[in-house]
Structure 1
């Protein structure tokens, strides 16, 4: 009996039942779709607050009410198409690449993954998603979100595809990668913290080890995901503000206000004060932790279906 129990320790099960990267990618993509549809208005408000240099918006509620009253409720879902596509692809790449990096960093003898290796896997996944997916999609999304009004005839950018074409024509291909440096710093740090924290909360709160066959209830996944998603926005606030400012400014031949990440940080600090580097923090906290809660609730259920089928097949 003791031998049987020893053979079922979480580390041994984790080594035996590693979840393949493609399943992680699928689970992340479905989670991204659900998250985008639920939380797009918060993202629009966050972007408007970060771009507001004149104090037009008095806070989250005032910003949302102003946008709704002057531009219509639909304006709160501006940029949904690139946002949903971006989240779907981002989470697929994030979850899949993180799983691949974790497999590479695992101890070849024991199959265990150290906290340092988990942190580095998350950081690597964040850097990859920032360069491949996040930056170009967020440039398009932010350009669409900063436009006021709903009449297509009065808008510079008519939609996601037109926006991307216009940016490439006026600013060159690399215009889609404006703000890449702060995006890399933000996403790398965010994902390093998020994957490490999510695993820690699953273990501490629910005694759940990856690959052990235990499937969390959706509410349990949401609690772990919510808690894991809180630290990143506080730590990376300046990178997010700078990223938004760099992505929003057009480079169609005129002089740009911000020359790069460091110059933008210095300029914002000098002109608007230290607190301006954390503009939009509250809506980020209203969006990212709930977003992680929604994403992990969906992803854990999909991964759980795979684990149940695996264990069922293995038992037979």
Structure 2
């Protein structure tokens, strides 16, 4: 027997509901990405300068601190926090919106039987729009990390790129790679999370019947599994994104991507996977935990859940 359940009978609806989803998503993504800025700095340096940072994650941390001071590990925290707040708002609220839209479009019974498609399609569409707002800030972050003397922070770095390179070449050279990275990442993230959460709830019971701590633990566990899967899926595009945003480029974006892929090879495309597994696994787990807790605090608990009752 298949059912689609509402988590609450009385709750905000319409724009008010999706605004709450956006706030929860923005805080979840901004806090987690901001807190893990040092890991992201190390991961980006390993990708961009593998001949210098070639002794692993811990040794690379020490190299950066010794050469540039501990403050270097917070390089790019401004664009990281701002960019992922915007991206999180669009991604999580967008996912809730498109999931509901697709359920209504295919019908409730079909939605339950084809819930993997709903998860994948809804998250992929949501991430595309989220990437449009993220890309300029991610380009600024990578430039600050790869060229520490480029600017002093978010505003000066953003302004310099805009002034010297313009909107398209400066901010959206990496739009292809960021979509290739973020869309598969988000599709894996949400679909694996939903499946993992369903499996965990099959053992411990529905989140609605659990304590607050129990529900948060389900979100953490499912989020960790989802984050590890998503990190592996999106790693090659993450490396290309770092490379293409490091410096000004000539030629079309497509030709640059093909050239970089050929130059790096399979092994090179997975540079920095270790730090990224740590970073993405951790931040995804806490993103879903924070998202769930803030939704609950804001009374936005009536998102649609697709479940198959055994």
TM-score by length of 1: 0.82
Q: Which moved more, 1:155-164 or 1:115-124?
A: 155-164
- Specify whether residues 37 and 158 from structure 1 end up closer, same or farther in structure 2 by C-alpha distance, changes over 3 A only: closer
Counterpart-to-counterpart distance in 1, 2:18 and 2:198: 21
Moved more, 233-242 or 111-120: 111-120
Structure 1 position 52 matched with structure 2 position 44: no
- In 2, the alpha carbon distance for the partners of 1:266 and 1:17 equals 55
What are the superposed Cα offsets for residues 255-277 of structure 1, whole Å, 9 maximum, x if unpaired? Answer: x4x7424543444433x442001
1:288 aligns with 2:269: no
List, as ranges, runs of 4+ consecutive aligned residues in structure 1 with deviation greater than 6 Å: none
Distance 1:309 1:67, change over 3 A: closer
Secondary structure at 1:250's aligned position in 2? coil
Q: CA 1:159 to 1:117, structure 2 compared with 1: closer, same or farther past 3 Å?
A: same
Q: Which residue of 2 aligns with 1:243?
A: 241
Query: Is contact 1:222–1:293 with CA below 8 Å preserved after alignment?
Result: yes
Q: Is 2:257 the counterpart of 1:264?
A: yes
Map of 1:18-167 to 2, 5 A cutoff? 20-107=17-104, 110=108, 112=111, 114-131=115-132, 133-148=133-148, 155-167=149-161
Question: Secondary structure of 1:221's partner?
Answer: helix
Distance 1:82 1:140 in 2: 7
Aligned pair count? 289
Task: Give the root-mean-square deviation of aligned CA atoms.
Answer: 2.7
Q: 2:188 aligns with which of 187, 190, 193?
A: 193
- Are 1:227 and 1:289, in contact at CA under 8 Å, matched by a contact in 2? yes
Distance 2:236 2:28 in 1: 27
CA displacement 1:129-184 (0-9 Å, x = unmatched): 112x2211110001111124xxxxxx231221111111111111211112111111
Give the deviation of 1:247 after TM superposition: 1.2
The one-character-per-residue Cα deviations of 1:256-305 (angstroms, maximum 9, x if unpaired) are 4x7424543444433x4420011111111111110011111111112233
* Closer/same/farther in 2, CA of residues 12 and 296 from structure 1, 3 Å limit: closer
Say whether residues 1:168 and 2:162 are aligned partners.
Answer: yes
Output the CA distance in 2 between the equivalents of 1:26 and 1:171: 32
Query: Does the aligned pair in 2 maintain the 1:29–1:87 contact within 8 Å?
Result: yes
Q: Which runs of no fewer than 5 residues in structure 2 stay unpaired? A: 303-310
Larger radius of gyration: 1
